[in-house]
Amino acid sequence: MTSAKRSIASPEIPTVAEAALPGYESISWLGVFAPAGTPREVVAVLNTEIAKILQQPDVKQRLLEQGGEPIGNTQEQFAAVLKSDIAKYSKIMRESGTKAE
In terms of pTM, does the model score above 0.85? Answer: no
Query: Which amino acid, one-letter code, is at 95?
Result: E
Tens-digit pLDDT profile for residues 43-98 = 999 999 999 999 999 999 999 888 888 888 888 999 999 999 999 999 999 999 99
Q: What is the pLDDT of residues 1-24, one digit of tens each?
A: 898 888 887 889 999 999 999 999
Domain ranges of the chain: 1-30, 31-96
What is the spatial distance between Cα 93 and Cα 99, in angstroms, rounded to a whole number?
Answer: 7
What is the DSSP secondary-structure string of 20-86? Answer: T-TT------------TT--HHHHHHHHHHHHHHHTSHHHHHHHHHTT-------HHHHHHHHHHHH
Write the CB contacts of 5 (distance below 8 Å, at least 6 apart in sequence): 15
